[in-house]
Every structure is written in C-alpha cells, then in structure tokens.
A and B are shown apart, each in its own frame.
Chain A
Amino acid sequence: EVQLVESGGGLVQPGGSLRLSCAASGFTFSTYWMSWVRQAPGKGLEWVANIKEDGSEKYYIDSVKGRFTISRDNAKNSLYLQMNSLRVEDTAVYYCARDKAVTIWDYWGQGTLVTVSS
C-alpha cells in the first residue's frame, strides 16, 4: 500500500524557516517525480514544487522561487521542503504527492499545517 506521511509543520514567525519532510513507503520511491502542493485555509489547491526521480531537476511556482528548496533522499525514501523567509501568505496545509504525470498526482499524504504568524 502506498503511503505518504508528512511532518514538520508548525507555527513560525514571518521571516522564519521550517523544513517539511515526507516519508514514502509501499512503492519504489526512486522511480517517481514527487511534488509539494499546498492549500491555504478555506482556499483552493496550489502546486508548489516538484523534483525529478534522481533530484537532478527541480521546479517551483514563482512565488516561492529563491525561498523554498525541494530535495529528496532516495536511500531514506524521503522528500523534503526547506522553507525560508516565510511569509504570512505561505500559511497553508502542505501535501506531499506522487507525480504519475504532469498534473496527475495519484497519491497524496494527509498534509501538514504551516502557520506563519507573529
């Protein structure tokens, strides 16, 4: 059974940093692109970033470029999102998702809440 379990969310002040983790199991992690998708409270879905199977390619939404870094450790079956210079508007539930293809995310984690507030 495919499982994605996020962790690392919490309350942080504007300008602060946070590192999210996603532990994957039940599939060959190293053979899939992976994404982070977020959802602000009461709002819709927004794709944030994704990373190629071997970590050699990474893509980001414009609003997080230069502040967020996606990475992975295939030996640990883990995906990460390092978030720096956090803004109030980054407040959201962050989901880890497996990329079946472009805009096809076939498995999702339960999400982890990031709250940016003073």
Chain B
Amino acid sequence: QSVLTQPPSASGTPGQRVTISCSGSRSNIGSNTVNWYQQLPGTAPKLLIYNNNQWPSGVPDRFSGSKSGTSASLAISGLQSEDEADYYCAAWDDSLNGRVFGTGTKVTVL
C-alpha cells in the first residue's frame, strides 16, 4: 500500500489545464523532493519532473510541478491528446527508509 496518495483519475478537454495532486506526510514529501513520471499506454515510465519543479531535457514546459508542505502537484497546461497517460509521483520516505511511489493518476483527454 503506497504512502503517497493520488486521485485515481483526472480529465480535461484539449487546451484545458489539469492538475494532479500527490498527498504524503512529513516523512516523505514534507522532508524530501518529489519527482513525477509519465507512463504512456503500453510503454515504460518516463521522467517528467524532478526535484519538485525541474524539467529534464526534452520535456515541454506545459508540464509543471510544485510542492507545499506535505503535498505536491503536477499541472498540465494546454492539454493535448498525447498527454493521455498514467502519472506517478515518487519521493524518499525517511520513516520507511525507502523509495515510495504514488498510487498513480490516469489522465483522460475528453
């Protein structure tokens, strides 16, 4: 059972802004940076955002990350059909002394 909670689903129409939350605790998000992964259908995960709000090379700035207290968020601006995917947050947990992923959010473009 994951210690990082995400909504199971989120949706929007093309061009809209969609936000995904990742809720944790003081031992994980509250103390460490958060990273986000995108998993397109049938493919491997891809690093989307690291260290809360940094973009790896090649990731469009339509994707943005933020963190406040024990929660983090991923925002997708100007939603596109190719953004349909599962999104996962990840962080280190000091209490578990281990790496934890969020429960995952499936984004649907209507």
Contact = CB atoms under 8 A, between A and B. Distances in A.
Given A44-B2, A47-B101, A103-B90, A108 B50 contact: no
Interface stretch (B19-27, B40-48, B65-73, B74-82): B40-48
Contact of B44 (A47, A103, A104, A109): A109
Given A100-B50, A102-B92, A103-B91, A45 B44 contact: no
B56 A106 contact: yes
A106 B47 contact: yes
B102 A108 contact: no
A105 interface: yes
Contacts of A105: 37, 45, 47
Contacts of B101: 44-47
Contacts of A111: 44
Contacts of B46: 108
A11 B96 CA distance: 32
Interface in B75-110: 88, 90-92, 98-99, 101-104
Interface in A92-117: 95, 100-106, 108-111
8 contacts: A44-B88, A44-B104, A45-B104, A47-B98, A100-B50, A103-B33, A103-B91, A110-B44
